[in-house]
Amino acid sequence: MTICYFGNYQKEYPRNSVLIQGLKQNDVAVLECQTRQTGFKKFISLWWQHQKIKNKYDVLIVGFAGHALMWFAKLITRKPIVFDAFVSLYLTNVEDRKTCSSKSLKAKYYAWLDKISCQLADEILLDTNAQIEYFVDKYGIKKKKFHRIFVGCDNKIFYPENSRNKKYPNGEFIVHWHGYIVPFHGFAVIFEAANILWRKKEPIIFRIITRFNVASAKYLAAVEDSRLKNIIFRQEASYRELAEAINQADCCLGIFGSNKKAKLVIANKIVEAAACAKPIITIAQDVLEELFVFNKSIVVVSTDSGEDLAKKILQFRDDIRWRQEIADNAYQIYTKNLTPKILGKRLKDILGILAF
């Protein structure tokens, strides 16, 4: 089987790299038709690349985030099209980040793009059953078109490695979090927990890897103003540097937002921590139970409260056996469900129905 992987996707973004790598590991030939050009130039680039391979593949996959390219893919190929929707543009930009009012033309455009891109596809990929239900309910797309392909990560980059950070020779407990500071991540909860533990003089270090921008600036200023010494910000890093930072930590944090997006997705950071066999604390959401068992393979807090998170971190620190059990169980979930090869096999099975 030969696949055309099509779009203006970022090759290094985990969703795309994991699926492409996974297909190759399952003996699927992948012809990439990809550009990072913008505007009209991207259509010219994609059309020209596609002309060279248009008779050499069985199924075309529009990679994430290719919502605005689905019409073009439909125009230039007669082969079956699989759309990796992965996330809803409306959910991300309107309901989560609130970049525009829900009554604005821009919001209506995001909703229309979500819907039309799915209607044009023969089959659609999303990362959770919860998000599939969201698309079905909101846009009226037939459920049988959807397939769940979980978030994964590259096990050649993210894997367990004992690399305790030498900067903390006094045995401080290291808590790791990485990601952009956006609403569904609930970073304010993490910041509150760090504040609480600093006031209690607990030897716990919070290491935060994030993009330095307007959202992070207010927290950097707050750290300076309150003289918090237990929270350290680092500029966003490469995936290999990220894996190293995870492996240096004693535990990792997931998301703590309580909005709709938090209820529908399983964050990359949770999968990456599981791949490194690290115990994870996150807010309780039903969607997590598609993969994890609460307090057996992932530890949850019931509210978006810094006090609750601080208590769980202290419990983790003081119970090494429990911490290790959670980490081991999370790692087993990763190795059995979320490696590129396993996800690639699942995708290959879906493609096989269309190809023949």
Q: Which two tokens stand for residue 216?
A: 């992070």
The confidence band for 164, taking pLDDT boundaries of 50, 70 and 90, is low
pLDDT attached to residue 354: 87
- What pLDDT was estimated at residue 102? 95
Query: What pLDDT was estimated at residue 56?
Result: 97
Domains, the chain, ranges and CATH?
A: 2-152+339-355 (3.40.50.2000), 173-337 (3.40.50.2000)
- The mean predicted confidence, pLDDT, of the chain is 95
The answer to whether residue 348 scores a pLDDT higher than 80 is yes
- Tell me what the mean pLDDT of segment 73-97 comes to: 97
Per-residue pLDDT tens over the stretch 289-314: 999 999 999 999 988 899 999 999 99
- Which of the four pLDDT bands, split at 50, 70 and 90, describes residue 181? very high
Mean pLDDT of 223-236: 89
The predicted pLDDT at position 169 comes to 58
pLDDT tens per residue across span 50-74: 999 999 999 999 999 999 999 999 9
Task: Answer yes or no: is pLDDT of 276 > 80.
Answer: yes
Structural tokens at position 62:
């529009």
Does the pLDDT value for residue 168 go beyond 80?
A: no
Return the pLDDT at 97: 92
Q: What is the pLDDT of residue 145?
A: 97
In the prediction, which pLDDT does 37 show?
96
Residue percentage of the chain with pLDDT more than 70: 97
Q: What is the pTM of this model?
A: 0.95
> At residue 132, does pLDDT exceed 90?
yes
- The C-alpha atoms of residue 100 and residue 38 are separated, in whole angstroms, by 23
Query: pLDDT value at position 38?
Result: 94
Structure confidence by residue, pLDDT tens digits, 94-118: 999 999 999 999 999 999 999 999 9
Q: What is the 3-state secondary structure (H, E, C) of the chain?
A: CEEEEEECCCCCCHHHHHHHHHHHHCCCEEEEEECCCCHHHHHHHHHHHHHHHCCCCCEEEECCCCHHHHHHHHHHCCCCEEEEEECCHHHHHHHHCCCCCCCCHHHHHHHHHHHHHHHHCCEEEECCHHHHHHHHHHHCCCHHHEEECCCCCCCCCCCCCCCCCCCCCCCCEEEEEECCCCHHHCHHHHHHHHHHHHHCCCCEEEEEEECCCHHHHHHHHHHHHHCCCCEEEEECCCHHHHHHHHHHCCEEECCCCCCHHHHHCCCHHHHHHHHCCCCEEEECCHHHHHCCCECCCEEEECCCCHHHHHHHHHHHHHCHHHHHHHHHHHHHHHHHHCCHHHHHHHHHHHHHHHHC
Residue-wise burial string across 97-136, b where 16 or more C-beta atoms lie within 10 A, e elsewhere = eeeeeeeeeebeebbebbbebbbbbebbbbbbebbbebbb
Closest CA to 193 of 239, 230, 162, 227: 230
Q: Which of the four pLDDT bands, split at 50, 70 and 90, describes residue 167? A: low
- Per-residue b/e over 174-208, b at no fewer than 16 CB within 10 Å? bbbbbbebbbbbbbebbbbbbbbbbeeebebbbbb
- pLDDT computed for residue 241 by the predictor: 96
Q: Does the pLDDT value for residue 163 go beyond 90?
A: no
pLDDT at residue 353, as a whole number:
87
Q: What pLDDT sits at residue 222?
A: 86
